[in-house]
Amino acid sequence: MLSKNTAPNLKVREPMTDAQLLMTITIAIFVAMYGLAMIFMGGGFLRTQQLFDLLNDNAALIIVSCSLTIVMIGGGINISVGGVIGLTVMACALFLNDIGIQNSGLCIFLTLLLALGIGLAFGLLQGFLISYLDIQPFIVTLAGMFLARGLTTILSVNPVKVTHEGFLTLVKTKATISWLGYTAKNGNLIPAKLEIGAIVALAVVLLVYLMLRYAQLGRHIYAVGGNQQSALMLGINVKRTRFMTYLISGLLSGLAGFVFLMHKPAGNASVAMRSEMDAIAASIIGGTLLTGGVGNVIGTFFGAMILATIQKIIALSPLNESWWQEMANGAMLGLFIMLQSVILSNRGKRGKAKVQAAGRE
């Protein structure tokens, strides 16, 4: 008979956190949705390139969704990101067409700096107004959205197509993965291709994940979003942390604009008109709570992929009118809001039960 000292050390498995549970549900829904599309629609869904195309077409959405996730975990909101993307695309397109430097590499680098500079300017201004002047985030970012859209129209009311040969060469450059390709009917091997923008988006997801999980700033963002008063008692600089969330969001919005231009090398006043709503939806579907303090950027990535898959399924189906996609996105968003409500309700009940049990003891 084993004594207490000689009994084997059995590890008790900890229950999943709310963020992990919501993320798991999101991933399961994406896998199920894509699997059903492979079974019932076949065609392109049976090829790896279809998955790569979802990444290629939605790289900018993935990046800007990561920026929204950071802000929302910190307890804020940013609805100016779509306007910043549109302004960035237009400004960069005009800059590339008008710049006189012959060095293509230098031109592209300066264009990237311009994109990041535009995002940084909006992040600095909005972050200061929200964090240090205590103005409501919705009001500030709404004004930022109108400002960005107005500046885009001032730059040009007509569509601007990029004619810079060096940048167009970059647009056509893709990572080729032969072993993930497919054999065409004529017997030729068609390799799978991933655009540079998609690679950048995946890198952003990884970097934001590492920042939120392991960096001190990430821990502070979760603490501030969960409870600002508790964060203050822990010695966290709440204003600086909130400011940093908007600063990072602005930078990522500028980067998303540059990636958008690499995918579609043209700018116009209606670019990314609804991307802020799609980014918020992707964050919520990915498990980010509107109340702050809970979220996971991996879940946000799969939330964006769910929206992209819905769009692709509807485009390939007889119900290819735009309102069907709006309805499907709304239904998916409503489902996840209800799931969040149930999880929060259960968490509240568990906390109350623990308090009552402690009181009885």
Q: What is the pLDDT of residues 303-353, one digit of tens each?
A: 999 999 988 888 877 776 777 778 887 888 888 888 777 776 766 555 545
Q: What residues contact 238, with CB distance under 8 A and at least 6 apart?
A: 224, 228, 231, 232
CATH assignment of 21-32+48-342, among 1.10.3470, 3.30.1240, 2.60.40, 1.10.600: 1.10.3470
CB-based contacts of 233: which residues, under 8 Å, 6+ apart? none
Higher pLDDT, 9 or 287: 287
What is d(CA 196, CA 171) in angstroms, rounded to the nearest whole number? 8
CA–CA distance, 104 with 325 (Å, rounded to integer): 40
Which pLDDT score is estimated for 350?
A: 55
The percent of residues above 70 in pLDDT, for the chain, comes to: 90
CB atoms < 10 A from the CB of 163, how many?
11
Report pLDDT for 68. 96
pLDDT at residue number 347 = 61
Q: Within 13 Å and on the Cβ side, how many CA atoms surround 242?
A: 28
Amino acid of residue 195: E
